[in-house]
Structure 1
Amino acid sequence: MQAPTALIADDEPLLRERLAGLLGRLWPELQVVAQARNGSEALQLFEQHQPKIAFLDVHMPGMSGIDVARAIGKGAELVFVTAYDRYAVEAFARGAVDYLVKPLDPERLSETVQRLRTRLAAPADKGDLDATLEAIARQLRERMGGAARESLKWIKASVGSNVRLIPVDEVVYFKSDAKYTLVVWQGGEAVIRKSIKELADELDEQQFAQIHRSTIVNLRSVAQFTQRDDAGEVQLKGRDEKLVVSRSYLPLFQRM
């Protein structure tokens, strides 16, 4: 019988280390095959390792734990890590997913481990997982009381010898190389030193989506999505170029 495998995704290194350490003591057979610093990396590592269990921090920058869970679907047992107590996340009790509250409590984690062992031994029907995840997201939004972070509104970019302020709403897409990120907007192109990871953390996730490790697109600029084997591409409105959607990000479009 193969050893169970797990992915841990959290933007706090100390929490990742503590969770991995506790799991090592409580469930020695479990192999933590990957640790991710954010949602996008979590999705990439999930595709690479296909773990049986995913521990996901709810509030990661950019792509949240809820977003990652939607992309993973029923491909793994899901455990969310949240700063909100059980009364704020009643939807977890539906049984499709489990949750841990920060700071991590070894006794509570032991209960989760027992439930996971049972589920792996005899997988149960998770029912309407999308509805469960939406209920969790809604309850968390209500508990946050509108305290969501302010998204980026302007991009400061070098255009020749000048510095230009570009409204984020006018940006069509961002594409990075080793050192710089190309900003393509309705009025032209420019380069900035901000990385794709930094942009993913700062942009409005309802308007911008990362579709490749080097590309973020404005969803309002997408005319069409086409899947091709295990990848895809988007056609932009009023433009000739097409942008590649890597396999890890296909679920973002498939569920639309």
Structure 2
Amino acid sequence: MKYKALIIDDEPPARSIIRAYLKKHETIEVVEECANGFEAIKAIKEHRPQILFLDIQMPKVTGLELLEVIDEPLQVVFTTAYDQYALKAFELNAIDYLLKPFDEKRFDSAVQKVLDKLQSGDYSNQIQIEQMQQSKQEKLDRIVVKKGTILTVVDLQNLLYLEAQDDYVMLYTETGNYLKSKTMKYFEEHLPSEQFIRIHRSYIVNASKIKGLEPYDKDTYKAILNPDCKLKVSRTGYKKLKEHMDF
């Protein structure tokens, strides 16, 4: 049986090295090389690979951001010049993490791990990207979303508010709405707190988009973003708004 693989790296020499190292691994077929996440998401849908050789630091969309929006079960080997994610990757039982420059022997070792997992049918080692991201205390400065095979990078300045929808969160922007497989707790912890406020268990709002408040019920209000968008504000949310916006 042959397994299909994608090589995803913005540097052509790096992709060439991986392809050369894979030549002797006859059970792995490189179905496409991708220079960025936008190409990769289309290639994944088209080819349905089992294996990704994935760089992390790429322009426009990082490797971690790409994995956030992939639904298919994949075996991922990181190939990167940056080591800041290595510890978390291993803690979460990633297949392997190859730090550039790596030699052929080290690469072969990673490939063997991949093949062992695929042949055993054991996918328990798959990288849990959400947990990896949640373990980081860094604040988000953008959010990558997907509709079909189209990736979009949402600038936080264009984000109006977020709404809880069961196990997902709907992002409402000035140009469209996007469903993200994350939790409200994740966004509450990772969005800049000086800009985004949890005004209700169902809503996180971009404070700069609030035009005003209007009474809704006894001791409760609605936040007005525009005449067609008014969001319920809980008592706790109202206190946060008063502190933040000096209402």
Normalized against structure 2, the TM-score is what? 0.57
After superposition, residues 137-216 of structure 1 pair within 5 angstroms as: 138=136, 206-207=141-142, 209=144, 213=150
Q: What SS does the corresponding residue of 1:90 show, helix, strand or coil?
A: helix
Over 3 Å counting, the alpha-carbon distance change for 1:133 and 1:33 in structure 2 is farther
Over 3 Å counting, the alpha-carbon distance change for 1:40 and 1:127 in structure 2 is closer
RMSD: 3.5
The yes-or-no answer on 1:93 pairing with 2:101 is no
- Per-residue Cα deviation, 1:183-223 (whole angstroms, up to 9, x for no partner): xxxxxxxxxxxxxxxxxxxxxx7236465759654444345
Contact 2:89 2:97 in 1 (8 A): yes
The yes-or-no answer on 1:255 pairing with 2:182 is yes
Name the residue aligned to 1:186: none
> Percent sequence identity over matched residues?
28
Name the residue aligned to 1:103: 101
The yes-or-no answer on 1:21 pairing with 2:20 is yes
Over 3 Å counting, the alpha-carbon distance change for 1:209 and 1:93 in structure 2 is closer
- The structure richer in helix per residue is 1
* CA–CA separation in structure 2 for the residues paired with 1:215 and 1:58: 18
Letter of the 1:8 partner, please give it: I
Letter of the 1:221 partner, please give it: N
Name the residue aligned to 1:49: 47
Distance apart, 1:82 and its partner CA: 1.6
Distance apart, 1:75 and its partner CA: 1.3
Q: Which has the larger Rg?
A: 2
Q: What SS does the corresponding residue of 1:113 show, helix, strand or coil?
A: helix
* CA–CA separation in structure 2 for the residues paired with 1:32 and 1:6: 5
| Among candidates 221, 242, 247, match of residue 158 of structure 2 | 221
Distance apart, 1:255 and its partner CA: 2.9
Q: What SS does the corresponding residue of 1:28 show, helix, strand or coil?
A: coil
The yes-or-no answer on 1:134 pairing with 2:133 is yes
* CA–CA separation in structure 2 for the residues paired with 1:131 and 1:107: 31
Name the residue aligned to 1:9: 8
Instruction: Show structure 1 runs of 5+ residues with no match.
Output: 142-204, 227-232
- Per-residue Cα deviation, 1:104-126 (whole angstroms, up to 9, x for no partner): 31010010111011000113323
Over 3 Å counting, the alpha-carbon distance change for 1:217 and 1:104 in structure 2 is same
* CA–CA separation in structure 2 for the residues paired with 1:132 and 1:105: 30
Q: What SS does the corresponding residue of 2:141 show, helix, strand or coil?
A: coil
The alignment covers a number of residue pairs equal to 173
Distance apart, 1:70 and its partner CA: 2.3
* CA–CA separation in structure 2 for the residues paired with 1:100 and 1:32: 18
Instruction: Show structure 2 runs of 5+ residues with no match.
Output: 164-169, 184-247
Contact 2:95 2:126 in 1 (8 A): no
* CA–CA separation in structure 2 for the residues paired with 1:225 and 1:82: 33
Contact 2:142 2:153 in 1 (8 A): no
Normalized against structure 1, the TM-score is what? 0.56
Distance apart, 1:224 and its partner CA: 7.2
Name the residue aligned to 2:28: 30
Moved more, 87-96 or 70-79: 87-96
Distance apart, 1:20 and its partner CA: 0.8
Letter of the 1:90 partner, please give it: L
